[in-house]
Amino acid sequence: MAVTTVARATREGDGGRRQELAEGGDAGRRVQGVVTGLILFGPLAGTVVAIVSLFGRGVDALDLVLGVAFYMVSGHGVTAGFHRLLAHRGYVARRWTRIALCVAGSLAFEGSPLSWVALHRRHHAYTDVEGDPHSPHLHTGGRWPRLRGTMHAHAGWLLKAPEADIERWAPDLAKDRDITTISRLFPLLCVVSLGAPALLGWAISGTLAGAVGGFVWGGLVRVFVLQQATFAVNSACHLWGTRPFVTRSRDRSTNLAVLCIVSMGESWHNAHHANPRWARHGVDRRQIDSTARLIRILQRFGLASEVQWPSKDGVEAKRRRAGAATEPSPVG
C-alpha cells in the first residue's frame, strides 16, 4: 500500500494538478516534507497524549467503539476502494458505492485517491528495483543498510515527498470526475476525519470529555494505528514472512499472517504481487481477508460486479514449487 502527502493533495485542490507535475524544486519539497512530518508525527503525539491520559481519565467504551468503527471505515476505504478497486480494477462498483469507498479511504490520512493510486501502481511496476518508491531492499551503503532500508520502506520515503506522477500512472482516474472531485476535497476530508469522531463522541455522551475522547481515540490514535498497519505492508511484507507464490525475480513480497487482521487482508502480500488483480489476497484456506469479505457482501447486494475472484487453477498456477522459475522483472 502507498501513502502520500497532504501537501501534494492540497495543491491538487488548487486545481494545479498538471502544474504540480511540472513544478518541484528543493523549497517545495522541503515544505512537503515538513507537512508530511506533521501528518506522521501528529497522530503519534495524539497517541502519546492518549496513553498519558489513561492515567487520569482512562479510556471508555465509547472511545474504543469510535476508534474501531473509524478504523474499519477508513481502512476498508483504502483497501477495498483505493487499492483493489481503483489501483488494480479487481472489481467494478456501482457509482455511489465507488464514491462512498473513495470518500471513506480519504479519511485515512493516506493521500488523495489519485496520488495514492499513482504511487502504488509505481510500486508494482518497479517492485524492489530502482524506481520503487518504498522498497526496503535498495539501501546498500552505510553501516546498517538493512535497518536503513526498513526505515525508508516504513515511513522514511514519505519524508522525501515522492512524486505522484498522475499523468503517467493514473491517466484513467485523472479523467474521472468523481475521483478528481474527491481528490480535490482531500484536505476537507482530513478535517472531517478528525472532527466526525469528536462530534459523535459529544453527541452520544453529551459531554466535552466525550468529544475529546472521540477526537483522540476515534481520530488521532486510529489514524496512527492505521498508518502503521499500512506502512508495515510496505516494509515488513517485503522483508519477513513466507513466499508461497511465484513473482517477478527481484520481487521480495511476502505473506505475513500476523498482520492480516490489522491490515484487513493486505498482508497476504506475496499472493497480491503474484496476481495484483485478485480481489481476494488471502487465497488459501483460513487466511483472514476482511476486505475480500466486504467485496463479497457488495457483490451479493448488487453493488459490485466483475469481481476477479482467484480460481483454484489460477492460484495453483502461481504456487511456488521447488525449482520453479520466476518471472523476469521489467527493469533491473
86, 117 Cβ separation under 8 angstroms: yes
Choices 37-45, 48-56, 193-201, 248-256; region in contact with Zn ion by CB under 5 A: 248-256
Choices 46-54, 241-249, 251-259, 291-299; region in contact with Zn ion by CB under 5 A: 251-259
**150 or 253: whose CB is closer to Zn ion?**
253
Choices 56-64, 209-217, 246-254, 297-305; region in contact with Zn ion by CB under 5 A: 246-254
Cell of 293: 469479505
Dist. CA 244–CA 251, nearest whole Å? 13
x/- letters, 252..271, toward Zn ion (CB under 5 A): -x------------------
**112 or 253: whose CB is closer to Zn ion?**
253
**104 or 196: whose CB is closer to Zn ion?**
104
Dist. CA 267–CA 205, nearest whole Å? 36
Instruction: Please spell the DSSP secondary structure of 254-284, one letter per residue.
Output: -B-GGGTTTTTTTTBHHHHHH-TT-S-S--S
**47 or 253: whose CB is closer to Zn ion?**
253
| Smallest gap from residue 60 Cβ to Zn ion (A) | 37
**253 or 263: whose CB is closer to Zn ion?**
253
Task: Return the residues of window 70-99 that contact Zn ion according to CB under 5 A.
Answer: none
Residue type at 214? G
Task: Return the residues of window 3-62 that contact Zn ion according to CB under 5 A.
Answer: none
**32 or 112: whose CB is closer to Zn ion?**
112
Which residue has the CB atom at the shortest distance from Zn ion? 253
What is the SS3 assignment for 327?
A: strand
How many residues of this chain interact with Zn ion, rule: CB under 5 A?
1
186, 12 Cβ separation under 8 angstroms: yes
Choices 158-166, 169-177, 249-257, 293-301; region in contact with Zn ion by CB under 5 A: 249-257
> What angle, rounded to 10 degrees, do the helices at 186-205 and 95-106 form?
80
Task: Write down the residue that cell numbers 499500512 correspond to.
Answer: 230
312-315: long-range pairs with CB below 8 Å, 24+:
314/275, 314/278, 315/271, 315/283, 315/284
User: Which stretches of the chain bind Zn ion, using CB under 5 A?
Assistant: 253
